[in-house]
A and B are shown apart, each in its own frame.
Chain A
């Protein structure tokens, strides 16, 4: 280290980078960190597969039972797998001090939160949805129903990630926040679970399932617009405790 610093002191009226550049830089870092910590991505996936495949062994391997229980089992397993992956959303950054740097970025924090949740969903949750059809076949679900199941997962799991980010932001400063996170977030997950499994059940009975899908879409729109704001506020509160 030398005393000489080539960068001159300069007062600025506005930030040097635009919102898009900052988002891209955040996205790049988040992707790198998540790919390097691959075990955090594989864990929920393995959990998801194990829970679903233990069901036929533990309860009953009969086709009629599996077909009725299938959508519910897959959805509950996916929901818990998402919950499992959420604790790490802000935890490392809080512990190594990067979260403070994040809060000091001049651009709106909720946009950065949205970027991070999107990145988390793509890397940790999307693989679950890719695997879901296979597990659906294992549960003897007919192809039509599997399609509806994947659709509900595509619409529903982003809501789980977004709502979960609020809980993760609130509990990031607490030791052992995992338990509290589940307690805070699970009640908010119930409507998603009800509408999603409702849609697959309706498809199984040959009824129209579009109302449930529309409700899931409405929940997603609500979560995309409000959850990042709430998470950003919660992160500021958590940082104030640190």
Chain B
């Protein structure tokens, strides 16, 4: 039974006097995997930021489970996990400190849980290394370790595959598929070729918007 989580009506955004998109009626149901596609500069990141409530300048309405998003903001944010294309990893902190700060701002978390999550994301042995000494892919993995501890029904991921190695890409794909099966919803952007079953596509670009369902 899939439930309607997030919905947009007539969503449009103008940036630097250029209309990125307009009149978008989109909906995100639980147990769905959605990929936003489009050429560079089409507004994929902006769309994701609007959906999270980070970007405040847009036309149209957003609804969380049928209610206007602004009026249920607190409960919406409690159910959301967003990873931007900057991973949000502070270079001066160690991997464990970064993870426990990022998760600790949302829910109670122990050091042990953080270490387990880092081992899970392939950073065993790097738990106490300052992130300035980690590679771009490893920093991405620090951010992705949050997925392990997150029970949020809605994941919005902007370019989560960037800088990951081939094995990492494959296991993240499998994780996302498993997540959709378990009842979570995932909205993501990527330029990678994705081979996920049941993938829905939102295509942005050059003023026209296509909507493809599997």
Minimum Cβ distance to chain B for residue A52 (Å): 30
Pairwise interchain contact B57-A16, C-beta atoms closer than 8 A: no
Chain B CB within 8 A of A11 CB:
yes
Q: What 1/0 mask marks residues of chain B from 49 to 88 whose CB sits below 8 Å from any chain A CB?
A: 1001111110000000000000001110111101011111
Chain A residues lying within 8 Å of B171, measured Cβ to Cβ, are 1-3
Chain B residues lying within 8 Å of A1, measured Cβ to Cβ, are 120-122, 141, 144, 167-168, 171-172, 175
Chain A CB within 8 A of B115 CB:
no
Chain B residues lying within 8 Å of A106, measured Cβ to Cβ, are 73-75, 77-78, 106
Spot the interface stretch: A77-85, A90-98, A198-206, A222-230: A90-98
Spot the interface stretch: A32-40, A58-66, A163-171, A179-187: A32-40
Pairwise interchain contact B54-A239, C-beta atoms closer than 8 A: yes
Q: What 1/0 mask marks residues of chain A from 2 to 15 whose CB sits below 8 Å from any chain B CB?
A: 11111111111111
Minimum Cβ distance to chain A for residue B27 (Å): 16
Q: What 1/0 mask marks residues of chain A from 94 to 113 whose CB sits below 8 Å from any chain B CB?
A: 01111011111110000000
Contact of A104 among B52, B56, B182, B183 (CB under 8 A): B52
A15 CA to B107 CA, complexed, in Å: 8
Minimum Cβ distance to chain B for residue A211 (Å): 43
Pairwise interchain contact A9-B183, C-beta atoms closer than 8 A: yes
A13 CA to B79 CA, complexed, in Å: 8
A11 CA to B77 CA, complexed, in Å: 11
A6 CA to B184 CA, complexed, in Å: 13
The number of residues on chain A lying at the interface, defined by a beta carbon within 8 Å of a beta carbon of chain B, is 45
Spot the interface stretch: A20-28, A118-126, A188-196: A20-28
Minimum Cβ distance to chain A for residue B37 (Å): 22
Pairwise interchain contact A11-B79, C-beta atoms closer than 8 A: yes
Number of cross-chain contacts by CB at 8 Å: 155
- Which B residues between 30 and 45 are near A, CB-CB below 8 angstroms? 30
Chain A residues lying within 8 Å of B78, measured Cβ to Cβ, are 12-16, 106
Q: Which residue of A lies closest to B180 (CB)?
A: A9
Known: A15-B77, A33-B90, A33-B93. A9 touches B84 (CB 8 A): no
Known: A12-B79, A16-B107, A32-B97. A2 touches B120 (CB 8 A): yes
Q: Which residue of B lies closest to A28 (CB)?
A: B101
Known: A1-B141, A1-B172. A15 touches B179 (CB 8 A): no
A100 CA to B90 CA, complexed, in Å: 13
A25 CA to B105 CA, complexed, in Å: 6
Q: What 1/0 mask marks residues of chain B from 163 to 182 whose CB sits below 8 Å from any chain A CB?
A: 00001100110110111001
Pairwise interchain contact B153-A10, C-beta atoms closer than 8 A: yes
A31 CA to B105 CA, complexed, in Å: 15
Q: What 1/0 mask marks residues of chain B from 105 to 141 whose CB sits below 8 Å from any chain A CB?
A: 1111000000000001110000000100000000001
Contact of A8 among B122, B174, B177, B182 (CB under 8 A): B182
A239 CA to B84 CA, complexed, in Å: 12
Chain B CB within 8 A of A137 CB:
no
A5 CA to B88 CA, complexed, in Å: 22
A86 CA to B116 CA, complexed, in Å: 37
Q: Which residue of A lies closest to B31 (CB)?
A: A9
Q: Which residue of B lies closest to A239 (CB)?
A: B54
Minimum Cβ distance to chain B for residue A30 (Å): 9
Known: A7-B148, A8-B182, A96-B89. A236 touches B175 (CB 8 A): no
Chain A CB within 8 A of B157 CB:
no
A29 CA to B120 CA, complexed, in Å: 23
A-B pairs with lowest CB-CB distance, top 3: A97-B86, A3-B174, A25-B104
Additional A-B contacts beyond A100-B49, A100-B54 (8; CB < 8 A): A5-B148, A10-B151, A12-B75, A13-B75, A17-B107, A100-B88, A101-B88, A239-B55
Residues of chain B at the chain A interface (Cβ within 8 Å): 30, 49, 52-57, 73-75, 77-80, 82, 84-93, 97, 100-102, 104-108, 120-122, 130, 141, 144, 147-153, 167-168, 171-172, 174-175, 177-179, 182-184
What would 11 A/B residue contacts be, using CB atoms closer than 8 Å? A9-B152, A12-B151, A25-B100, A28-B104, A29-B101, A37-B92, A96-B88, A97-B88, A98-B102, A100-B82, A102-B105
